[in-house]
Structure 1
Amino acid sequence: MKQHYTNIVLFLAELRKSLRLAAFSLLALTVALFFLSADLIGAFQQHLHERLYFFSVAEPFLAHVKVAFFAAVCLLMPLFMHILWQALGKPFGVTGKKLFWFTLATCALFYVGALFCCLVTLPYGASFLLGFQSEHLKPHIAIGSFVNFVAIFVLAFGLIFELPVFMVFSAQTGALSQQFYAKNRRFAILAIAILAALLTPTPDVVNMLLMGGPLYLLYEAGILVIRLLRIDRQ
């Protein structure tokens, strides 16, 4: 218990060293992308085939700022992951090539998850939700709500797809084992189902499966990688 507490303290100390770099990079790129935010909004609007409106004076400006910020977060994800894994690596004894592969795998899975959300989940979810319009009920989507809706789900899918990397890391550090993940598979399925219900834009079974299915496969992939690499210490 004391060792885990010490590792957490060291992790936070290492992370604090790089916070200024991360914050400055995020601010600078957000400012730069602000001038491209109109094109980004137009691309998503065309992708989802919906017109957007605003209902307050400041809403368009704030929407452009949000788009620039979330786009900057996505583009800077390799930097953020590098900082995170550098901070995690020292106290938990993960360095060198292992640290490089953890960083690379995390970034790759983030972008795969974000792309999957953009190409599959978001179009289907938006189509399902807007399918309830009728002659007496027409959609007028506020640009602020649209930006929040898209950004939250894209980032959520990207982060959730990183599950197997952190499973492997937990086995590498000895925190959890391959046997633990295999033994608690049914609880993982329940957690995945709840998470899919909470994060997917629509409550129907198909859309939940679009998230829960890949997430369960990633869970099994994490168990398989731990077994193949024989990094389980317990």
Structure 2
Amino acid sequence: MADPREPADELAGTEQPFVAHLMELRDRILYALAGVGVCMVLLAIWPGPSGLIDWIAVPIRAHMPPDVKLIAVGVFTPFFVPLKVLMMAGLLMALPWVIYQIWAFVAPGLYSHEKRFALPLIIIGSVLAYLGIAFVQFFVLDKMFAFIQGFTPASVNATPDIASYVEAILSLYLAFGLAFQVPVVVMLLVRFQMITVEQLKAFRGYFIVVAFIIAAIVTPPDVISQLALAIPMTLLYELGILGARWFARGAAPADGDATDQDGRSP
């Protein structure tokens, strides 16, 4: 017989069959893909694939002679590269919608106190991803290409291939978008009591070393892009520690609820 002092489990009786979970997952994936498709159509109308290519090529064109353009070596490159950029831009534009579908899928299995901290983390993670990509586009690429072009001999005419250029910057977008999630990871580790704020402070010096190692691995072999990734990661680590304090305080009521569920009076 259940102890009357124990609060009722809000998720009791809400379990669904495995097939129902698969159908829900299928629907959420289809909704997410539909959102990406709509964004791709809108971007295809304006500014169009060519406009997107022109926009992402601004950083490198600024360090090339005015009469020199990027080249397309492959036979199908002029078609597939703009399509690839259009797909990536559509995914980035629909990112909040995609994350919402992920949230809608997992939310029914979360307690109320878990939902309270999960939704802010989703919003923070989306904003940080956009900030990381913007940081690459408006700062890192310009400084990186200025550094690289400074080593180009006068007898060499640098005419990069558009396919290799797009592949390089998309990898940088991904690297910085993920690296800017450091505060979210730190706050989750503290929230789930896998580590404490004091331990994070003690690990600060080691994280700086780890940040520079990661930057050396995922960025091109130039000091500008490596510093541009390692330094923000270190600053975001400090931001994560500050945010973890707030999430740790917000977790106190939930921990109190857990104590009540053990049958002990608060």
TM range (shorter): 0.7 to 0.9
Match 1:203 to one of 222, 227, 247? 222
Per the alignment, residue 225 of structure 1 pairs with: 243
User: How many residue pairs are counted as aligned between the two chains?
Assistant: 223
TM-superposition CA deviations, 1:136-165 (whole Å, max 9, x none):
322121111111112221232122112102
Match 2:180 to one of 141, 154, 161? 161
| Counterpart code for 1:26 | V
Per the alignment, residue 60 of structure 1 pairs with: 78
CA distance 1:198–1:179, change in 2 (3 Å) = same
Per the alignment, residue 259 of structure 2 pairs with: none
Aligned pair 1:104/2:114, yes or no? no
TM-superposition CA deviations, 1:113-156 (whole Å, max 9, x none):
11111111111112222222223322121111111112221232
Per the alignment, residue 38 of structure 1 pairs with: 50
Aligned pair 1:82/2:100, yes or no? yes
Q: Secondary structure at the match of 2:89?
A: helix
Whether the 8 Å contact between 1:81 and 1:106 is mirrored in structure 2 is no
Which range moved further: 123-132 or 168-177? 168-177
| Counterpart code for 1:161 | F
TM-score by length of 2: 0.73
Match 1:146 to one of 162, 165, 168? 165
CA distance 1:152–1:124, change in 2 (3 Å) = same
Which entry has the higher C-alpha Rg, 1 or 2?
Answer: 2
| Counterpart code for 1:221 | L
Whether the 8 Å contact between 1:110 and 1:159 is mirrored in structure 2 is yes
TM-score by length of 1: 0.81
| Counterpart code for 2:140 | T
Percent of pairs with identical residues: 24
Whether the 8 Å contact between 1:156 and 1:199 is mirrored in structure 2 is yes
Aligned pair 1:181/2:231, yes or no? no
For residues 40 and 117 of structure 1, the distance between their equivalents in structure 2, rounded to whole angstroms, comes to: 16
Shift of 1:20: 2.6
CA distance 1:127–1:70, change in 2 (3 Å) = same
For residues 37 and 189 of structure 1, the distance between their equivalents in structure 2, rounded to whole angstroms, comes to: 39
Q: Secondary structure at the match of 2:57?
A: helix
Per the alignment, residue 29 of structure 2 pairs with: 19
| Counterpart code for 1:19 | I
For residues 16 and 80 of structure 1, the distance between their equivalents in structure 2, rounded to whole angstroms, comes to: 13
Root-mean-square deviation (Å): 2.7
More helix by share: 1
For residues 85 and 168 of structure 1, the distance between their equivalents in structure 2, rounded to whole angstroms, comes to: 18
Per the alignment, residue 119 of structure 1 pairs with: 138
| Counterpart code for 2:98 | F
CA distance 1:212–1:131, change in 2 (3 Å) = same
Which range moved further: 61-70 or 97-106? 97-106
CA distance 1:144–1:123, change in 2 (3 Å) = same
CA distance 1:89–1:176, change in 2 (3 Å) = farther
